[in-house]
Amino acid sequence: MSASAQAMQSQMQARNTNERFYTYALSFLALGVGASATQTLAIDAQSDLILRKMNQFSDIAAAGTTESTRVMPNATVLLTEASSSVQFMNIAVAIPSLFGSGGNPFILPIPVLLKAQSILTVTVTNYDAANTYNIRLAFIGVRRLN
């Protein structure tokens, strides 16, 4: 093995000891017509999260879905970093615009660092005229152990 390959392998091993793939998830279940719900995502005390992607899976009243019947919820989301009260967007945006289609996650333009013990406030609002949704949001990234 060349010296550069050995150096790269050594760097990867060192990196792998303190970084792990990780997903935080929130579920907004039985979100009725016109309803809003707020939940908090608390980053644990032992690690930061480098948020890289977000994804969603939604259904209507727990009905089964297939690739061709994937649900794109008529719902918005607003993300706020609680300690600073800084919002990630100027207004709530449609969930598929920020969380992808379920099969294709939304890749953030730049990674977002959520420090250990930080709290992300997530507000979801159903603006559909008829459907009650179950919406599951995934916050995908790298957990960096402190």
pLDDT for the residue numbered 66: 74
3-state helix, strand, coil in the chain (%, to 5): 15, 50, 30
Q: Which CATH architecture has domain 20-145?
A: Sandwich (2.60)
d(CA 108, CA 110): 5
Q: What is the dihedral of CA 9, 10, 11, 15, to 10 degrees?
A: 100
pTM of the model: 0.86
Q: Is pLDDT of 91 > 70?
A: yes
Nearest to 58 by CA among 121, 107, 100: 100
Q: Which of the four pLDDT bands, split at 50, 70 and 90, describes residue 4?
A: low
Mean pLDDT of 33-45: 97
Domain boundaries, the chain: 20-145
Q: Is pLDDT of 13 > 90?
A: no
Q: Is pLDDT of 16 > 80?
A: no
